[in-house]
DNA sequence: CTCATATACGGAGAGGCTCTCCGGTTGTCT
DNA sequence: AGACAACCGGAGAGCCTCTCCGTATATGAG
């Protein structure tokens, strides 16, 4: 990769981060190019799709989340899982586009990495008996991203807790979500 | 309202219903006008915003949901609530746009009507002790619409049940989502 | 240092979308 | 029938996405 290309690439990512933060994930890519003082062609050559740009922008944060999952080996399994899911929620809320991205394209690199991180935590929690039987990683992701997309920011955490602890109150738990 | 205006209005709603069903809620409004053999001006005069058109399209179904809520007075409170939420989920999945609509504009007519319908069910379930303390109507809506937006259609029901019954398995329930 | 060449850049432009405006048309009421 | 209000259509402004290609530049070889 040529030096000027690298420069443009980095500058575009930084600019896009700012623009997405201001205007949300559906912000105009033209605007990104304009602010980065770069032609549209340059932007689209580096990032053929909006997704590609989104991923580049959030990659760092995603990796931090993965690292967080690995570090939380000391905490009790259940708390480690819920704590991480809360971090994931905050992330998905901040970078609304990522939630959409994860939902849109299941065969995604960043999606796979997050799934991997979550799998470890869920397995551990499962072995500790802290999680209802039959819960899958995808369940957790879809709940978190769904909450991030529709709920106002200040209600996200409340909703996550509700989903984790359950809405219904019918005493002893049934074996699992058997209707699925 | 003049007769030709009424004709155009109805025809636009019918066309829009078909187009939205085919291409999702972000379908081109131009396309709707074109298929309805009507100028763009006509469409935008009748429906100033995309929301307005979406609401017109789904109004019938929304009213059916409200009626359903009122009819289910005979069933046990808990089952009535979960059954209705399932119907709401199916609806939100089918008419993806509605989910977005409900999330986008809180001061909405159709939103208010659904909230009203749900409030009745939730109150009854609350009095019967079938619902965890502190659960609000908005919680339920945001969970359902979130699930509808992000989860694949065939996993929606599974996720709703999971959210209602809870992901965690830590025996006796805590008093409520106190962290909120 | 110079040159050749692959590599990358910029921006014009095609095609589509949203939304507005207004001259012409068509219901409706007397 | 005639007049007036209501309504329609579509041209067009402004924006967006994405492509294409002539031009400029970084870089390795000589």
**CATH number for the domain harbouring residue A119:** 1.10.357.10
Residues B18-58 have pLDDT tens digits of: 999 999 889 999 999 999 999 999 999 999 999 899 989 98
Average pLDDT, chain A: 87
Q: B158 in a domain, yes or no?
A: yes
Structural domain span for residue A100: 57-171
The per-residue pLDDT for A178 is 42
Domain assignment present for residue B178? The answer is no
Q: Give me the phi and psi of A135, to 5 degrees please.
A: -80, 130
Tens of pLDDT, residue by residue over A24-58, are: 889 999 999 999 999 999 999 999 999 899 989 98
Contact A168, B164 (CB under 8 A): yes
Which positions of chain C lie under 7 Å from any protein Cβ? 7-13, 16-22, 26-28
The verdict on residue B80 lying in a domain is yes
Tell whether A70 and A26 lie within a shared domain: no
- CB contact set of A133 (below 8 Å; sequence gap of 6+): A175, A176, B169
Query: Which positions ≥6 away from A44 have C-beta within 8 Å?
Result: A29
Does residue A85 sit in the same domain as residue A5? no
Q: Specify the 3-state DSSP secondary structure of A55.
A: helix
Contacts of B146 (CB under 8 A, 6+ apart): A143, A145, A146, A147, A148, A149, A150, A151, A159
Nearest to B38 by CA among B6, B8, B5, B1: B8
**pLDDT reading at B179 higher than 70:** no
B137 inside 8 A of chain A by CB:
no
Alpha helices in B24-108 (DSSP H): 29-35, 40-46, 50-71, 77-94, 96-104
Mean pLDDT of A88-115: 73
Check residue B4 and give its pLDDT.
98
What is the structure's pLDDT at A110? 82
**Does residue A5 sit in the same domain as residue A86?**
no
Which chain A residues are within 8 Å of B25, Cβ to Cβ? none
- Say if residue A72 is in the same domain as residue A157: yes
Do the chains contact at B169 and A168, CB–CB below 8 Å? no
How long is the CA A105 to C1' C5 vector, in angstroms?
A: 39
Whether B82 and B43 map to the same domain: the answer is no
Torsion angles phi and psi, residue B151, rounded to 5? -85, 145
B11 CB below 7 A from strand D atoms: no
Which phi and psi angles does B141 have, rounded to 5°? -65, -45
Same domain? For B80 and B145 the reply is yes
Judge whether A177 lies within some domain: no
Does the pLDDT at position B129 exceed 60?
yes
Domain count within chain B = 2
Residue B16: the pLDDT is 97
Does one domain contain both A74 and A19? no
Task: Let me know whether A73 and A160 are in one domain.
Answer: yes
Burial of B91 (0-12, 13-18, 19+ CB in 10 A): buried
B20 and B61: one domain? no
* B10 and B71 assigned to the same domain: no
Residue B111 lies in a domain: yes
With both helix axes pointing from N to C terminus, report the angle between B109-127 and B50-71 in degrees, rounded to the nearest 10: 30
């Amino acid at each position: 990769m040529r030096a000027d290309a690298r420069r443009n690439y980095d500058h575009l990512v930084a600019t896009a981060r700012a623009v997405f933060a201001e205007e949300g994930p559906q912000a105009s890519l033209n605007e990104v190019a304009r602010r980065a003082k770069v032609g549209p062609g340059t932007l689209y050559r580096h990032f053929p799709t909006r997704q590609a740009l989104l991923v580049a922008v959030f990659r760092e944060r995603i990796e931090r989340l993965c690292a967080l999952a690995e570090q939380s080996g000391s905490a009790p399994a259940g708390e480690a899982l819920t704590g991480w899911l809360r971090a994931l929620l905050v992330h998905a809320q901040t970078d609304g586009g990522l939630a959409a991205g994860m939902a849109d394209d299941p065969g995604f690199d960043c999606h796979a990495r997050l799934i991997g991180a979550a799998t470890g935590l869920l397995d551990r929690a499962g072995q500790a008996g802290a999680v209802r039987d039959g819960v899958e990683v995808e369940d957790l992701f879809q709940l978190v991203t769904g909450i991030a997309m529709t709920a106002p920011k200040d209600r996200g955490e409340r909703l996550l807790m509700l989903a984790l602890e359950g809405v219904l109150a019918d005493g002893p738990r049934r074996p699992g979500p058997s209707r699925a």
